[in-house]
Amino acid sequence: MDFHFLAPLMNAYGITTLLCVFGIPALRRHKIGQHERGEGLESHQKKEGTPTMGGIFIILGIAATVIANAKEHPNILPVFLVTLGFGIVGFIDDFIKEMLHRSEGFKPWQKMLGQILVTLAFAIYIYNKEGVGTKMIVPFTGNEIDAGILFFPLFFFVVLGTVNGANFTDGIDGLHSTVTLVMAIYLSVVSIVRGGDLEYLSCAVIGALLSFLCFNSYKASVFMGDTGSLALGGFVVSAAYMMKMPLFVPIFAFVYLMEVLSVIIQVTYFKKTHGKRFFRMAPIHHHFEKGGWHETRVVAVFSVLTVLLCIIALWGLV
| Distance spanning both ends of the chain, measured CA to CA | 22
Those residues with Cβ within 8 angstroms of residue 105's Cβ, 6 or more apart along the chain or in another chain: 93, 94, 96, 97, 111, 226
Q: Residue 34's pLDDT is what?
A: 67
How far apart (Å, rounded) are the C-alpha atoms in residues 214 and 222? 10
What is the torsional sign of CA 108, 114, 118, 121? Answer: positive
Q: Write phi, then psi, for 244 (nearest 5 degrees).
A: 60, 40
Q: Residue 1's pLDDT is what?
A: 52
Q: Residue 2's pLDDT is what?
A: 62
Q: Residue 107's pLDDT is what?
A: 85
Is the pTM higher than 0.75? The answer reads: yes
pLDDT in tens, 206-216: 999 999 999 99
How far apart (Å, rounded) are the C-alpha atoms in residues 155 and 279? 29
Asked if residue 216 lies in contact with residue 50, where contact means CB atoms within 8 angstroms, the answer is no
The domain locations on the chain are 6-249
Q: Residue 38's pLDDT is what?
A: 52
Asked if residue 225 lies in contact with residue 54, where contact means CB atoms within 8 angstroms, the answer is yes
Q: Residue 31's pLDDT is what?
A: 79
Query: Which stretches of the chain drop beneath a pLDDT of 70?
Result: 1-2, 34-40, 42-45, 103
Q: Residue 151's pLDDT is what?
A: 97
Measure Cα distances from 119 to 242, 249, 299 in Å: 13, 16, 29
- Annotate 206-241 with b (16+ C-beta within 10 A) or e (fewer): bbbbbbbeebbbeebbbbbbbbbbbbbbbbbbbbbb
Helix (H) or strand (E) holding 168: helix 151-169
Q: Which stretches of the chain are assigned E, i.e. beta strand?
A: 135-137, 144-146
Helix, strand, coil distribution of the chain in percent, nearest 5: 70, 5, 30
pLDDT in tens, 185-211: 999 999 999 887 899 999 999 999 999
Q: Residue 253's pLDDT is what?
A: 98
